[in-house]
Amino acid sequence: MSGPFRRSIALTLLLPLMAGACNAAHEDAPAPMVIKTDAQSIADGRKIAEAQCANCHALDQDAKIRPEDPPPLRYLLAQYNPDTLSRDFQNGIHVGHEMMPDFVFGPLGAEVVLAYIVSIQEEPPKAEPAPE
């Protein structure tokens, strides 16, 4: 057998194996997250946020009480990726801040809390320049 013929046979045998490996890699990848936008999910998420988050995070248009308060929920996605936040909510969110309790919302709780957070997002205000 000549060299080019041997290479074409090798490629013919290897291509299906390579394609199968690519498909297997895609099957292991997590499905893209779909954020709920229906009114009931948003309302359920708001109830959870009122009970679990409002003591420290400002909800809706509420102002921060003190400069050291955590970010208002309406600016949260400017700092955090929604996919990561959803996984954190499901697996138990823990932040290095000593005052932040650990929360585990589970899949449904994470979906509705994220639905609420997404529904109220705003662009954070620009930081004011420091006085000279």
What would the pLDDT profile of 115-124 be if each residue is shown by its tens digit? Answer: 999 999 998 8
DSSP result, 37-83: -SHHHHHHHHHHHHHHTTTTSPPTTPPPSSTTSPPPGGGGGGTS-HH
22 has a pLDDT exceeding 60: no
pLDDT beyond 70 at 36:
yes
Rounded Cα–Cα distance for residues 83 and 89 (Å)? 10
Class of domain 39-119: mainly alpha
Domain spans of the chain, in order of start: 39-119
Q: Tell me the whole-structure pTM to 2 decimals.
A: 0.65
Instruction: Tell me the pLDDT tens digit for each residue of 38-59.
Output: 999 999 999 999 988 887 887 7
